[in-house]
Chains A and B, each alone.
Chain A
Amino acid sequence: MAVREVLKYPNDILKQDSADVTELTDDIKKIIQDLKDTMLDAGHSTGIAAPQIGELKRIITIDASLNKKCKENHGFMVMINPEIIEHSGTITSREGCMSVPDFTGNVTRAERIVVSYLDENMQPNVLETSGFEAVLIQHETDHLNGMLFIDRVISKRTDLFRRKKYQGAV
């Protein structure tokens, strides 16, 4: 059990590419546990990616059920080497991220995705999902490629918002 510090931009690690996981070592198991602990400790968070705790490995943990308004979801999931292999539609939402705490931004993403990944036992899986859970997976997967939501904001003045305070999930 370890709650790790969540790195914040402009920490350079957040802008780097993460490496594929090839083997389920003790180190990898520990990163998975730490991601889970750190995500739950944050209270308002629904997902986290390994670079956010300083580990440049392609691992994310998500739990869309932590967003009370998300009716259909797959609950807690560990995704190793996730890859979005199909996507369709568009959905715009205002995203907040623990690594960019002072802002929220309007981001347009795919409404429905198919993602391939390895589960926490390194077993290959494919998941099809849509809506909030799809947005969540795309946001976390972006972290593995050094992308933050602020990279996806379409630089119009209406798309980036300064937070008055860090607010909990609504």
Chain B
Amino acid sequence: MNKQYYYALSFVNTDSKGIVAATTKVLFDNGFNLADSSSTLLQGIFSMIFIVTNDKDYQEQEIKDMFKNVRSHMEVFKFDKKPEIKDGIHYSISVYGADKAGIVHSITEEITKNNLNIIDLQTKITGGSPKVYIMMLEVVSSNKNNENIWQEALKKTAKEINTQINIKKIEFYEL
């Protein structure tokens, strides 16, 4: 197999109608392989991220030009080799509480201090009154021996900002 170049393409669009089909058509027509993708509607803004590969070495602007007829705000980021994913133990964490500024920052700062890697993060705010803020994360720890230390630290942080926190180790079953 030829050397593969990796590109991350992000798109945001206020009108989601037909945008996935139009975008993936351009990718297909230009010989890109879809390695991974995530798309979702965030407050009415349709947001897509594609990780694509191609054996052609494009400049970022060349890729943007391919999409000039697809009405989206887009960014292209090129990287030379497949990015590594850290190995370790996975945990799912949920945090919720009355909506107020700084919840994500406080929690993620504590996660970083404890050398955990965030591999997924989603936040939602409920529509009711008072509004409730919900954050769901998946983190990876490379050290299985300090579980109690970082979990206690996170629980303390969550309490300080008046939120509830649940931490659960994710069990992988080979069946």
A→B interface (CB under 8 Å): 44-47, 67, 69, 93-97, 104, 132, 135-136, 139-140, 149, 157-158, 162, 164, 167-170
A136–B85 touching, CB < 8 Å: no
Q: In the complex where A157-B38, A158-B120 touch, is A164 in contact with B171 (Cβ < 8 A)?
A: no
Q: Which of chain B's residues has its CB closest to A139's CB?
A: B175
Q: For B85, B120, B122, B173, which residue has the most chain A Cβ atoms within 10 angstroms?
A: B173
Task: Give complex CA distance A96, B136 in Å.
Answer: 23
Q: In the complex where A157-B38, A164-B85 touch, is A95 in contact with B173 (Cβ < 8 A)?
A: yes
B85–A94 touching, CB < 8 Å: no
Tell me whether B167 is interfacial, beta carbon within 8 Å: no
B120–A46 touching, CB < 8 Å: no
Query: Do most interface residues of chain B lie in helix, strand or loop, or is the interface mixed?
Result: strand
Count of chain A to chain B residue pairs whose CB atoms are closer than 8 Å in the complex: 53
Tell me whether B170 is interfacial, beta carbon within 8 Å: yes
Chain A residues positioned under 8 Å from B173 (CB to CB): 46, 67, 93-96, 132, 135-136, 139, 169
Q: Determine which of B85, B172, B175 lies in contact with A170 in the assembled complex, contact meaning CB atoms within 8 Å.
A: B172
Chain B residues positioned under 8 Å from A94 (CB to CB): 90, 170-173
Least CB distance from B10 to A in Å reads 15
Q: In the complex where A157-B40, A162-B36, A164-B87 touch, is A96 in contact with B120 (Cβ < 8 A)?
A: no
Q: Determine which of B87, B90, B120, B175 lies in contact with A45 in the assembled complex, contact meaning CB atoms within 8 Å.
A: B175
Task: Give complex CA distance A47, B138 in Å.
Answer: 28
Q: Which of chain A's residues has its CB closest to B89's CB?
A: A170
What 5 A-B pairs have minimum CB-CB distances, sorted nearest first? A139-B175, A169-B174, A164-B85, A44-B174, A96-B174
Chain B residues positioned under 8 Å from A104 (CB to CB): 172
Chain A residues positioned under 8 Å from B136 (CB to CB): 158
17 residue pairs of the A-B complex, CB under 8 angstroms, read: A46-B174, A47-B175, A67-B174, A93-B171, A93-B172, A94-B173, A95-B175, A96-B175, A104-B172, A140-B175, A157-B40, A158-B138, A164-B85, A164-B87, A167-B172, A168-B174, A169-B172
A96–B172 touching, CB < 8 Å: yes
Chain B residues positioned under 8 Å from A139 (CB to CB): 173, 175
Least CB distance from B120 to A in Å reads 6
Task: Give complex CA distance A139, B90 in Å.
Answer: 22
Chain B residues positioned under 8 Å from A157 (CB to CB): 38, 40
Task: Give complex CA distance A170, B122 in Å.
Answer: 26
Task: Give complex CA distance A169, B174 in Å.
Answer: 5
Q: Which of chain B's residues has its CB closest to A164's CB?
A: B85
Task: Give complex CA distance A76, B136 in Å.
Answer: 38
Given A96-B174, A136-B173, 20 more A-B residue pairs with CB atoms under 8 Å apart are A44-B174, A45-B174, A46-B174, A93-B172, A94-B90, A95-B173, A95-B175, A96-B172, A96-B173, A104-B172, A139-B173, A139-B175, A140-B175, A149-B175, A158-B136, A164-B87, A167-B174, A169-B172, A169-B174, A170-B172
